[in-house]
Amino acid sequence: MRFRKDNRGYSLVEVIVVVAMIAVLVTGISLSISIIYNSNARAGAYNIRSEMADLKVYSMSKDASSARMKLYRSSYDGDVYAQLQHKEGGSWEDYRDPQKVATRKVTVTCVKKDGSSVVLDGGAANYVCMAFDRGTGSMIDTVDDTVLVDKIIVEGGHKKYTLILYALTGKVEVINESV
């Protein structure tokens, strides 16, 4: 039995097939990652809107000067949280446990009525507090360190969601803006 030593390497067809398979795998992985980041931004925007609705209901059931929502990024895990608080005996107490509204994979920017903006980045004094009036349901800035927020921008992946806050009515509208 004779063995033929004819080892010339890979043929061009084999190399093209392998390169095509790698390209398909890379495309699939990048699309999966993009979808995950996009869904994080969407979920964050709608979670913030939901927490604001909870704050409005809670505010209208309590004294107008005794309820607020603190929106902040945790320096511990990097996620964004909404904390409903009420005033008890001159100090702010948590109404319930902080609710995670967005992951660390998204950027949350709050644009105030005066045009300045706050990017929630996990700093110690980096948060935004919002409150609603008990009688009208409109947003107010008369409760301690609350501010009137014009919009909240949530970005992740290739998606950008803007929450438009109507101060007079307290309505919050989510707009999808692709980046």
Q: What is the pLDDT of residues 34-63, one digit of tens each?
A: 777 678 888 999 999 999 998 888 888 865
Say how far apart CA 85 and CA 79 lie, in whole Å: 19
Band of pLDDT at residue 17, cut at 50, 70 and 90: very high
Say how far apart CA 123 and CA 38 lie, in whole Å: 25
Say how far apart CA 80 and CA 95 lie, in whole Å: 17
Strands 107-112 vs 99-102: parallel, antiparallel or unpaired: unpaired
pLDDT in the model for residue 1: 56
- Please name every residue paired with 114 in a beta bridge, in sequence order, or none if there are none: none
Select the CATH number that applies to the domain covering 12-178 from these four: 3.40.50.970, 3.50.50.60, 3.30.565.10, 3.55.40.10: 3.55.40.10
Segments making up each domain of the chain, as ranges: 12-178
Note the pTM of the prediction, 2 decimals.
0.78
Say how far apart CA 36 and CA 43 lie, in whole Å: 11
pLDDT in the model for residue 117: 87
Our CA angle for 123, 41, 79, nearest 5°, is 30
Q: What is the pLDDT of residues 106-164, one digit of tens each?
A: 999 999 888 888 888 877 668 888 888 888 888 888 777 788 888 999 998 788 999 99
